[in-house]
Chain A
């Protein structure tokens, strides 16, 4: 049994970067304020001192430059881990993400692969200024050629990050900043991976399957515990990767009960819940006992923070969604 440390999610990210950089000289970090400052959330704290300015690189303030330069580095065999400071600032780099990062392998007929991992904190709930709270994972999940990973625990943060960095294909690694420091968990000191594309069951239950990921995992579990007191037993599945989705896990959990709820903070229309609902419809129509319920953000621009509590799904809203699916 290897040694473990008791870490927060952001510390586990930092530890994942540290471990992978120690293991592989080709891994490097680039972005804004990742060097001496250690990242605005301290996700790269101490890495500059440990690995130096050639591997922990403060770039000019230019997201397209950060992503595009990482594409070039990755094509030449490095394993760059670009950081975009907040996911709301990925859009200047969006052209590089969809036009190149996602399709370099295809466009070169396999000559160039891009083993790069683009990290960004995402999501709401921390009273942040405008453009700092959105959840736009569906943009990236919609783009063929990318993998999209979203951890919800310190253990998974380190293991999924390591798997992403080692993956031969480009990964968008979205870190739910609401839970960056919300709790701690045991994280092995040694390197390990958590496989991309595999969901995990956070709670077992026989009445309804609830699918979620990222920061919504906690209120979903809270809702499940609260409903357990009323005799409703929820299975809670943390997807962990939203592209590719773990189709098998979704189908299996759904078929056990014939009822499902999907929870995400991203806007409802065109969100991952729609995709999960379609999978259920395609695979398990004859098992279905109730309409699949979506509990999601609204189809409005993310509000300034005084109203964000009304935007984000809460345990109470999730409970109501689950109750609806169970009582149908």
Chain B
């Protein structure tokens, strides 16, 4: 893909406040449609539908007490699916805690995501062949990891690219600055993908920084920065793909790292513990809902004859089945065994910890599980 130097350069040479767009709110083409075949396009649509349905079910599970606090992603499917789809097989994502959709594209089973938010240790055990870093809850703390991991790829001469996700709030943290600065200095194959969803819990984007855009922060690190309509999955795909290929191709005279600011909106709460009606207007939510990435892509694919009612119905059925199966699988997972707490703290359990475990096991043996449950 890198042969298309002309379009790649144009992606990075635009003004910081001129977001890349491919589809407008009605799904009409307003930019260069990326070179994807019909099945790839349907794949993006299907993953977005899957992520949306998963999200709705997850929120409902939390409401029913079947899952703990959960961070919803509705509204952000275009950014997550569009970007993750642009990666090559061996590339990695380095997520924050909301990238269930991106992780899904990378092959993380939905069951894993459910188990994590259900508080099972097993939810943190990503399969060996899934190139997804552990969820990072402390804001921006994963940014330097992405730099280091991609630096390792450069040092070892593998050609893996690392796509790092974080939110608008994260750009205020020291770790963001340090991670992106290192990437610039060591010219690492990293794509920094900012999901600017306008709100860090209750604090609006305008309050995070006086900068007119987040993309322009790239300038200070000497790397490329670009804005994209984050609710336009095809635009997100194009920009990410250009950034990924540039990261992989050191012969170019451009810096390898890129900062992408994907403008989007979270339709729901920060987490199920949050009530956004306290701090934002319903009008604003409705305005952004008109940019919903799913109907946009669907309208485009219908107009191209790639999707029709029958195909959409098939996808709906598939999506419902897959999510239902994942929930069933996660809920029938045995309760984690308490010894899981002690496993993996060290390669080999130190003697004191061994002793603590034995004391714990003896107490459990003598008193049963009810001795651990407060009434």
Binding site for B on A (CB under 8 A): 32-33, 35-38, 40, 58-65, 88-89, 91-92, 125, 127-132, 219, 268-269, 298-301, 303-311, 314-317, 320
A60 touches B118 (CB 8 A): no
A298 touches B371 (CB 8 A): no
B372 touches A314 (CB 8 A): yes
Contacts of A127 in B (CB 8 A): 68-69, 119
Q: A33-B202, A298-B342, A300-B341 are in contact. Are A60 and B119 (CB under 8 A)?
A: no
Contacts of A40 in B (CB 8 A): 201, 273-274
B174 touches A60 (CB 8 A): no
B139 touches A89 (CB 8 A): yes
Please pick, from B169, B273, B357, the residue contacting A61 in the complex, using a CB distance under 8 A. Answer: B169
B43 at the interface (CB under 8 A from A): no
Whole-angstrom CA separation of A35 from B278 in the bound complex: 11
Contacts of A315 in B (CB 8 A): 374
B202 touches A36 (CB 8 A): yes
- A-B pairs with beta carbons under 8 Å apart, 11 shown: A60-B207, A61-B172, A92-B174, A268-B356, A304-B123, A306-B121, A306-B336, A307-B121, A308-B119, A314-B372, A316-B372
User: Taking CB as reference atom, which chain B residue is nearest A93?
Assistant: B174
Whole-angstrom CA separation of A125 from B372 in the bound complex: 12
Q: A64-B174, A127-B69, A269-B352 are in contact. Are A306 and B120 (CB under 8 A)?
A: yes
B219 at the interface (CB under 8 A from A): no
B135 touches A62 (CB 8 A): no
Whole-angstrom CA separation of A85 from B299 in the bound complex: 42
Distance in angstroms from B305 CB to nearest chain A CB is 44
Whole-angstrom CA separation of A304 from B172 in the bound complex: 28
User: Taking CB as reference atom, which chain A residue is nearest B177?
Assistant: A62
Which of A88, A268, A304 neighbours the largest number of chain B CB atoms within 10 Å of its CB?
A304
User: Taking CB as reference atom, which chain B residue is nearest A60?
Assistant: B172
Contacts of B360 in A (CB 8 A): 298, 310
Distance in angstroms from B38 CB to nearest chain A CB is 39
A305 touches B119 (CB 8 A): yes
Distance in angstroms from A173 CB to nearest chain B CB is 21
Contacts of B207 in A (CB 8 A): 58, 60
Distance in angstroms from A85 CB to nearest chain B CB is 8
Chain A facing B: main interface SS: loop
B325 at the interface (CB under 8 A from A): no
B138 at the interface (CB under 8 A from A): yes
User: Taking CB as reference atom, which chain B residue is nearest A308?
Assistant: B119
Q: A37-B278, A88-B138, A131-B137 are in contact. Are A310 and B341 (CB under 8 A)?
A: yes
Distance in angstroms from B310 CB to nearest chain A CB is 41
What 5 pairs across the A-B complex have the smallest Cβ distances?
A37-B202, A305-B119, A316-B371, A61-B169, A60-B172
Contacts of A268 in B (CB 8 A): 356
Contacts of B335 in A (CB 8 A): 306
B208 touches A36 (CB 8 A): no
Distance in angstroms from B123 CB to nearest chain A CB is 7
Contacts of A305 in B (CB 8 A): 68, 119
Which of B137, B173, B372 neighbours the largest number of chain A CB atoms within 10 Å of its CB?
B372
Whole-angstrom CA separation of A73 from B373 in the bound complex: 45
B175 touches A92 (CB 8 A): yes
Interface string of B198-226 (1 = CB under 8 A from A): 00111100011100000000000000000
Whole-angstrom CA separation of A131 from B271 in the bound complex: 15
B8 at the interface (CB under 8 A from A): no
Q: A61-B172, A64-B174, A268-B356 are in contact. Are A309 and B68 (CB under 8 A)?
A: no
Interface string of B331-375 (1 = CB under 8 A from A): 000011010111001000000110011001001100100111110
Distance in angstroms from B329 CB to nearest chain A CB is 16
A304 touches B374 (CB 8 A): no
Q: A40-B274, A131-B138, A317-B363 are in contact. Are A307 and B338 (CB under 8 A)?
A: yes
Please pick, from B124, B357, B371, the residue contacting A304 in the complex, using a CB distance under 8 A. Answer: B124
User: Taking CB as reference atom, which chain B residue is nearest A310?
Assistant: B338
Whole-angstrom CA separation of A125 from B335 in the bound complex: 17
Whole-angstrom CA separation of A252 from B172 in the bound complex: 49
B278 touches A89 (CB 8 A): no
Whole-angstrom CA separation of A269 from B353 in the bound complex: 10
Please pick, from A35, A63, A91, A310, the residue contacting B372 in the complex, using a CB distance under 8 A. Answer: A310
Contacts of A59 in B (CB 8 A): 203
Distance in angstroms from B179 CB to nearest chain A CB is 13
Contacts of A310 in B (CB 8 A): 338, 341, 360, 364, 372
B279 at the interface (CB under 8 A from A): yes
4 more contacts with CB within 8 A, not counting A88-B138, A304-B116, A304-B119, are: A33-B203, A59-B203, A268-B356, A300-B341
Distance in angstroms from A33 CB to nearest chain B CB is 5
Please pick, from B135, B201, B278, the residue contacting A32 in the complex, using a CB distance under 8 A. Answer: B201
B117 at the interface (CB under 8 A from A): yes
Distance in angstroms from B236 CB to nearest chain A CB is 23
B173 touches A62 (CB 8 A): yes
Distance in angstroms from A270 CB to nearest chain B CB is 11
B121 touches A65 (CB 8 A): no
Contacts of B174 in A (CB 8 A): 62, 64, 92
Interface string of B265-279 (1 = CB under 8 A from A): 000000101100011
B180 at the interface (CB under 8 A from A): no
Q: A32-B200, A60-B208, A315-B374 are in contact. Are A303 and B278 (CB under 8 A)?
A: no
Q: A305-B68, A314-B374 are in contact. Are A299 and B356 (CB under 8 A)?
A: yes
Which residues of B from 94 to 143 have beta carbons under 8 Å from A? 97, 116-121, 123-124, 135, 137-139
